[in-house]
């Protein structure tokens, strides 16, 4: 199993290109199940999760061509199978997003309950309740979800989410695009990836109102065509590299990154003493007059992203004073804390909050990655630490960060992958 070795203490300086967003492309790919002609995506990152979703779509009967050099993905065909098997779905939670499109277009879907990172239960009940509101009959048996549309297909409905759910919003948007009548999604997720999916569906012929708000209206169509759509830049990758520049005291241009996609993350970084300046080419990140402890609470967008919590905690390990990091989205998302403490951090967890007391320096150590964002937090700590850090179980990183070692090495990091 691969490991990453980092010799810390070098400031990062230069330009890092920001790849297409993992969380966007994984919702866009199932939209191909709705189309009667090819869906072309550009700015597609080369990630393990993209390969997994490609394998799932092929299993369902679509042709999928991924040109990694050109960063394009072309999906075509109509599903010849309605079953998403456990062997594929267990690898990645986003696989459940084929459920809505299959039921909407083919009237039936059988999808294994999803897997993914071990950061909590993350149930799919909101996905299923939404489909039931649209007329589907749902059964869950032997680890599989089976959904059947009523005669005449899914019907538009008014669906009020009791809590904000990105995955449920995406799944029901996809289903509603081919439902009969209007579907309202109230208290819908507002993440940039939601708007990106809506823009793609609109290019395919869907009619959607309320982009950027928590109230979406989707007018169902009888059919959708293929389209060409560019994947938006990855805001979590941009935020991660912003923390990398700040924790090493360097200055980095994040090429292609957009300030409006960072939401509260940009404000919190500035409060912590990090320069975040928008330029025509992207975002310029620098450390100003030392790092300062800042309290954060994870919230749905535009609040502080749960996917940035671990990275920001690594940054706070070297800040002056104390900070409190409170996780409200997922339970069990502090698994990186013991590993950071092995490197000399001073972090105490109390329920859903972690108290971080800044230390003058971190020390390199062998550490174990437990999930995708925990993995990058350990890499960030290693970049700033004295001595050598070995990050084990880095297959998590390959799910969400494209060419991580190459990008960091290009701006001055001493980092390499050990096979």
Strand order in the sheet with 215-219: 158-160, 182-186, 215-219, 207-209
User: Exactly one of 117, 200, 243, 317 is catalytic; which is it?
Assistant: 117
Say if residue 90 carries a ligand binding annotation. Answer: no
Asked, as a colleague might, if the bond just before 302 is cis with ω within 30 of 0, I would say yes
Provide the 8-state DSSP code for 321: S
Query: Residue 288 corresponds to which tokens in the numbers above?
Result: 């100003």
- Asked if residue 329 belongs to a known ligand binding site, the reply is yes
Asked if residue 36 lies in contact with residue 224, where contact means CB atoms within 8 angstroms, the answer is: yes
CA angle centred on 128, ends 396 and 20, rounded to 5°:
35
Residue 3, marked binder: no
Q: What is the dihedral of CA 269, 272, 278, 279, to 10 degrees?
A: -120
Q: What angle do CA 362, 310, 400 make, to 5 degrees?
A: 115
User: Do residues 146 and 152 make contact, with C-beta atoms less than 8 angstroms apart?
Assistant: no
- 307 marked among binding-site residues: yes
C-alpha angle 267/273/279, rounded to 5°? 60
Query: Which sign, positive or negative, has the C-alpha torsion 3, 418, 306, 316?
Result: positive
Rounded to 5 degrees, what angle do the CA atoms 373, 363, 3 make? 50
Looking at the DSSP assignment, which residues form a beta bridge with residue 170? none
Q: Are 134 and 183 in contact (CB under 8 A)?
A: yes
State yes or no: is 117 an active-site residue: yes
Tell me whether residue 93 is annotated as binding. yes
Residue 187 annotated as binding site: no
Q: Is 148 annotated as a binding residue?
A: no
What percentage of the chain's residues is helix, strand, coil (to nearest 5)? Answer: 35, 30, 35
Return phi, psi of residue 357, to 5°: -105, 120
Tell whether 96 is in a known binding site.
no
Distance CA 202, CA 195 (A): 10
234 annotated as belonging to a binding site for a ligand: no
Question: Hey, CA dihedral for 338, 344, 345, 347, is it positive or negative?
Answer: positive
302 labelled as ligand-binding? no
| 29 contacts: CB under 8 Å, gap ≥ 6 | 41, 50, 53, 54, 57, 73, 75
> DSSP of 177-211, one letter per residue?
TTSBSEEEEET----HHHHHHHHHHHHTT-EEE-T
DSSP annotation of 348: E
| Annotated binding-site members for UDP-N-acetyl-alpha-D-glucosamine | 93, 122-126, 307, 329
Residues labelled catalytic: 117
| Annotated binding-site members | 22-23, 93, 122-126, 307, 329
| Annotated binding-site members for phosphoenolpyruvate | 22-23
């Amino acid at each position: 199993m691969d490991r990453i070795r980092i010799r810390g203490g070098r400031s990062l300086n230069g330009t890092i290109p920001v790849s297409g967003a993992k969380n966007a492309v994984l919702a866009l790919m199932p939209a191909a199940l709705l189309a009667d002609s090819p869906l072309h995506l550009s700015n597609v990152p080369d990630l393990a999760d993209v390969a997994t979703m490609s394998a799932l779509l092929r299993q369902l009967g679509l042709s999928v061509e991924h040109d990694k050099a050109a960063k394009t993905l072309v999906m075509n065909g109509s599903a010849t199978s309605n079953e998403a098997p456990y062997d594929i779905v267990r690898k990645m939670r986003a696989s459940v997003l084929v459920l809505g499109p299959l039921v909407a277009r083919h009237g039936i879907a059988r999808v294994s309950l999803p897997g993914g990172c071990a950061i909590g239960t993350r149930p799919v009940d909101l996905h299923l309740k939404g489909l039931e509101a649209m007329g589907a009959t749902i059964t869950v048996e032997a680890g599989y979800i089976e959904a059947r549309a009523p005669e005449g297909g899914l019907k538009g409905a008014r669906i009020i989410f009791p809590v904000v759910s990105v995955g449920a919003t995406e799944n029901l948007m996809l289903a509603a695009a081919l439902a009969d009548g209007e579907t309202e999604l109230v208290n819908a997720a507002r993440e940039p990836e939601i708007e990106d999916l809506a823009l793609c569906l609109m290019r395919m012929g869907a009619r959607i109102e309320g982009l950027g708000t928590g109230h979406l209206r989707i007018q169902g169509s009888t059919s959708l065509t293929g389209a060409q759509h560019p994947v938006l830049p990855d805001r979590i990758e941009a935020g991660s590299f912003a923390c990398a520049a700040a924790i090493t005291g360097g200055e980095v241009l994040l090429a292609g990154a957009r300030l409006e996609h960072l939401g509260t993350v940009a404000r919190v970084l500035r409060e912590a003493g990090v320069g975040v300046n928008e330029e025509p080419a992207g975002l310029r990140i620098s450390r100003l007059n030392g790092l300062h402890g800042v309290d954060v609470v994870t919230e749905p967008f535009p609040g502080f992203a749960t996917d940035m919590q671990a990275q920001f905690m690594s940054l706070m390990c070297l800040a002056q004073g104390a900070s409190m990091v409170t996780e409200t989205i997922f339970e069990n998302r502090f698994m990186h804390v013991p590993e950071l403490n092995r490197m000399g951090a001073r972090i105490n967890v109390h329920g859903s909050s972690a108290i971080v007391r800044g230390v003058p320096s971190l020390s390199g150590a062998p550490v174990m990655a437990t999930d995708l964002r925990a993995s990058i937090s350990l890499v960030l700590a290693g970049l700033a630490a004295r001595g050598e850090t070995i990050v084990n179980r880095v297959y998590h990183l390959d799910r969400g960060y494209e060419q991580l070692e190459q990008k960091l090495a290009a701006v001055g990091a001493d980092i390499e992958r050990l096979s």
